[in-house]
Structure formats: C-alpha cells, structure tokens
C-alpha cells in the first residue's frame, strides 16, 4: 500500500466492507426538509439522525457542509456538534469548510475543525499558499483535501486558466500539493466529477486521494468518478449530498445510495 | 465621487471625521489576553468591549476575524454575536471569514455573515470563480473584498506565479473583479501592505476599494499603504490587528493606533 495513514486506513476498511466508495454529504437545508419533520432545529436534528442511522452501514465517510449549519445560526453549529458525536468512530468525518488564511489564522480555523468538532479531515482553499495550509497539514493524523479542480461552472474563471508553462492553474496547485505531500503524507485533492479532465488529473497525481463532489444532483456519474478517480490503493471518495439526503418521494436514503453507485 | 455605496459612504464619513483610514482587526487570542482580564470567554468579552469602547472614535471600521472566535468554540461565536451588537452602527463591520464555495453553499455562508451577524462586508477566496462569489455580490448593500495579493509569504506559491499572458495570477483575479464590479459596484480587493507591488496593483484597479492588512505586527507601514492604496475617492482601509489589540505594556490602544498611523 502506497499511502499509510490512520484515516486512509479507515476509508479503505469501510470500502472493503461495503464494496463502494460513496461519501454522504450532509447539507441540511430547511427548505428541503421532508414534510414529516417540523421545520425547526429539532426537526432538522431528527431528520439528520435518521439519515445517519439509515446510511452509516452504507457509506465510507460523512462530509458535513459547515455553511449549511452556519446558515441556521449558532444553534445550527450546536446541532453540528451534537451530530459529530452521533457519527460512529469507524466513519471518518470530512468537515467541509473550505478554509485557509494567513498562518496564525489558519491555526485557529484548524483548532475549530479538529480540536472542537473532532473532525478527521478538512477541505482547503489553496490561493494563499504554503503558510496558509501548513497549520492544517501539521495535524498529521488528519487528512486535508485542497481544492484542485472544482465541479462548478466558475472553475473556468481561474482554475482552468493557463499559466506560463501552458498548463492550467489547477495543475500548478496539484503539482505543489504532491510536493508538500512528500513532507506530510496527509494531503488529498478535491476534483470535480463533472470534468473530463479527471483522468488527466489522476495521471499527474497517481498517489493523492481524491475527494470527488458533483455526483448525483450536480450531474457527474459514479462510475466515471470511480474509474478515473481511484489512486494506486484503489482509494477514492465520491461524494453525494442532495441526491442522498433529499431523494424523490418513496425512495429511501439507502436506495438513493444504491441508485447513485449504479450511475 | 466614483463609488457610491452605503458602506463606502460610512467609511468616507468616518475618515473625514478622524483624518485617517485605520481599520481595527479583532483577533481575540486567549494567549495574548492582558493579565488584568481572566482567561475565560467572559474575561475576553470584557477585554474586547474595552477595546471597542476605547477605539470606536478612532477607527473607520472593525474587522473581526471569525477564526479567532471559532477557536474558542461555539461560545466564542456567541461572543462574536454579542460584540457585533456592541459596535456602533456608524462603524461598518468587515466580517473576515475568507469564504467561497459552490453557489448554493456560498449562499449559506453569506446568510451567516450578513443575515445572522448583520455584518457590512465580507472577505472572499477567488479560487472557485464567478458562481462562488456572486451569492455574496448579490448582497448589494454590503461590500465584498476578494483576495488579490495577500501579505503572507505563501503569496508566492500561486498568487505571484505568472499566467500565460506573462502577468501574475493576482492580476487575472483583479482584472476579473474589475469586470464583475461593473455589474455590482460593491467589490473591493484584499492587497497586502508588505508588497512593493501595491502601487502597480492600484494602477490596474483605480476604482476598487482596497482592504490592506499586514500593517503593524506583519511589518508594513501605514504611510506606504495609504499613499499607494487609496482609490480615486481617497478611500483605503488599512487594517492593524495585533498591534492595536496587544500593544507593549503601558501603551493604550489609542496610542497604538496613533503610533501606527505615523509609521
């Protein structure tokens, strides 16, 4: 095995048990809460506990999206805190906050994500460079996914713009992350499933674990993400949020997972 | 006047009153709390209220750094909430969170910053492009500072790397922001005071307001930031955090401000 890291090992163990690599994104949206739950923080909590209880045997990771909790105000973050405690230890928590700032501020961001919430992984903005990321990387037993090529239309504004070497910006970011990873061994990349470029990205970064959003509601397919996104250990994290949390009427969360992994 | 925006007008009014452009950054750090305050959330609150009461007549804006509140846990965010209510309406609050994500997530981030905390301005990561920023820009009566050229050493990793047009990445970001600003009129840039490039950056972006960190503890001088950073309205926001909050023994917060504006 190329990568050996406590969090990677948990992902691989989960994958071997359930035979797929789906990560469930937790994006609690009051407007989408099923009618059977009251539209309150309590109602949302009942709903999310139900989601976790029904999916915990059928996903390799959870990815709570901090902003969706923040949008409910500070009580929403309290809910996130309680929820993190409900997620079984075997299933790593990727705290999706897209953080990154000057060094002493990044240190504080990392404290919130790892020391306070006890998350196992973070997502990070590369723009400000090395000293904005290292305070995260220094949490050695945690994993850190740096934005590479994202799944949204705006990826063409900067990420896909060519640099002086004729390659797009996201190449520079990925190559820099490969270099940093030689020191840390706990770096992964966020690479969107909606891009044809996925295979090329994997070619330049054989080893780094990819967190692949954009499957399901955003239009990417699981099979494409899985075929092209795996690293040499066969590890990939394929995230679906809305499609699992809010499936069409009459379809359970588990059925939604199985329909995604067949896509 | 080139820019007419309710928040810009408040900054200009404040500047005309006090004759300088200092913004006080609020980075509450338990390790730096003066001995006269107990090292608790309550003690921190007393300290920060003291800072605000003694500086509110002598700064044009406050910039709370969300991460420093987050590092104290959810009770830290409660403190931030109470503090925002203590800041006089005349003094705009720049909520420094360095946010940005795919569109539906950015919308949630913006809700927290503007609807929940009632802030007047945000700071944003450009990496994910247009649709990651527009949900913020859509808050038309708020101001939004996009990271351009930051004051940390890591700015050389990506921001200063040359693009295919021979100009550094931060140029591309600034030029794109100028274009977006034609639609929105509420966009500014974060440009570090520690860079010789400040004058060049102002040359390509005559109109955009700059938020300039890096003065004081990070080594930039006020006069350089002020001379080179003003836009055509003479507006600039020069931020000092640590140097104002934690001055040497025997020096008051206001004395610290006056020593910075003479630098």
- How many angstroms separate the CA of residue A201 from the nearest CA in chain B? 17
The most distant pair of C-alpha atoms in chain A lies apart, rounded to whole Å, by 55
Domain count, chain B: 1
Q: How confident is the model at residue A220 (pLDDT cuts 50, 70, 90)?
A: confident
Mean pLDDT, residues A5-24:
97
Backbone angles phi, psi at A98, to 5 degrees: 50, 60
B30 found inside a domain: yes
A1 found inside a domain: no
Chain A CB contacts of B105 under 8 Å are 27, 65, 67-68, 98
pLDDT above 90 for B32? yes
Beta bridge partners of A62: A24, A93
pLDDT above 80 for B217? no
- How many angstroms separate the CA of residue A252 from the nearest CA in chain B? 24
Three-state DSSP state, B64 = strand
Count of other CB atoms within 10 angstroms of residue B34: 12
Count of other CB atoms within 10 angstroms of residue A171: 22
List, in order, residues 6 or more apart from A89 with CB less than 8 Å away: none
| Closest among B8, B106, B152 to A103, alpha carbons compared | B152
A159/A157 Cα distance (integer angstroms): 6
B173/B127 Cα distance (integer angstroms): 9
Q: Comparing A9-18, A40-49, A190-199, which segment has the lowest mean pLDDT?
A: A190-199
Mean pLDDT, residues B192-212:
87
B1 found inside a domain: no
Spell out the SS3 assignment of B72-128.
CCHHHHHHHHHHHHHCCCCCCEEEEEEECCCHHHHHHHHHHHHHHCCCCEEEECCCC
A242/A229 Cα distance (integer angstroms): 21
CB contact under 8 A, B116 and A67: no
A246/A29 Cα distance (integer angstroms): 10
Residue range(s) defining the domain that contains residue A122: 6-261
A82/A72 Cα distance (integer angstroms): 15
B122/A99 Cα distance (integer angstroms): 14
CB contact under 8 A, B147 and A127: yes
Give pLDDT, residue A102: 94
pLDDT above 80 for B3? no
Count of other CB atoms within 10 angstroms of residue A20: 17
Say whether B98 is catalytic: yes
A90 found inside a domain: yes
Q: What is the mean pLDDT of chain B?
A: 95
A173 found inside a domain: yes
Edge to edge, the sheet with strand A121-124 lists A61-64, A22-26, A237-240, A210-212, A187-191, A143-149, A121-124, A94-99
Three-state DSSP state, B148 = strand
A205 found inside a domain: yes
Q: What is the predicted ipTM? A: 0.97
Chain B CB contacts of A154 under 8 Å are 128-133
Give pLDDT, residue B108: 98
Question: The domain spanning residue B252 has which CATH number?
Answer: 3.20.20.70
Q: Which residue has the higher pLDDT, B207 or A157?
A: A157
Q: How confident is the model at residue B218 (pLDDT cuts 50, 70, 90)?
A: low
| Closest among B124, B128, B82, B80 to B103, alpha carbons compared | B128
Give pLDDT, residue A251: 95
B158 found inside a domain: yes
Q: How confident is the model at residue A2 (pLDDT cuts 50, 70, 90)?
A: low
Structure tokens at A195: 């891009």
Share of chain B above pLDDT 90, in %: 88
Measured in whole angstroms, the distance separating CA A20 from the mean position of its chain's CA atoms is 16
Chain segment A105-132, per-residue pLDDT in tens: 999 999 999 999 999 999 999 999 999 9
B6/B143 Cα distance (integer angstroms): 9
Give pLDDT, residue A214: 81
B54 found inside a domain: yes
The answer to whether residues A145 and A189 touch, using CB atoms and an 8 Å cutoff, is yes
Please pick, among B32, B39, B85, B98, the residue that the annotation labels catalytic. Answer: B98
b vs e for A210-249, b when ≥16 Cβ sit within 10 Å of the residue's Cβ? bbbbbbbbbebbbebbbebbbbebebbbbbbbbbbbbbee
């Amino acid at each position: 095995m190329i990568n050996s890291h406590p969090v990677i090992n948990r992902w691989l163990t989960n994958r071997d048990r359930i035979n797929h690599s789906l990560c469930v994104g937790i994006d609690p949206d009051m407007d989408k809460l099923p009618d059977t739950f009251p539209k309150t923080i309590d109602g949302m909590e009942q709903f999310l506990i139900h989601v976790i209880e029904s999916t915990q045997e059928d996903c390799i990771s959870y990815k709570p999206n901090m902003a969706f909790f923040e949008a409910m105000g500070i009580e929403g973050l309290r809910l996130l805190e309680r929820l993190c405690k409900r997620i079984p230890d075997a299933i790593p928590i990727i705290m999706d906050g897209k953080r990154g700032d000057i060094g002493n501020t990044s240190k504080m961001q990392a404290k919130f994500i790892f020391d306070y919430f006890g998350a196992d992984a973070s997502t990070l903005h590369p723009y400000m460079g090395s000293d904005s990321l290292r305070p995260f990387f220094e949490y050695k037993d945690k994993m850190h996914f740096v934005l590479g090529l994202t799944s949204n239309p705006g990826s063409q504004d900067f990420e896909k713009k060519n640099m002086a070497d004729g390659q797009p910006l996201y190449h520079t970011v990925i190559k820099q992350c490969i270099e940093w990873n030689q020191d840390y061994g706990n770096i992964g990349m966020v690479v969107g499933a909606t891009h044809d470029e996925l295979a090329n990205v994997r070619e330049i970064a054989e080893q780094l674990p990819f967190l692949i959003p954009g499957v399901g509601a955003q239009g990417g397919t699981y099979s494409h993400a899985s075929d092209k996104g795996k690293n040499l250990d066969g590890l990939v994290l394929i995230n679906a949020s809305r499609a699992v949390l809010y499936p069409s009427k009459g379809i359970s969360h588990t059925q939604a997972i199985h329909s995604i992994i067949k896509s």
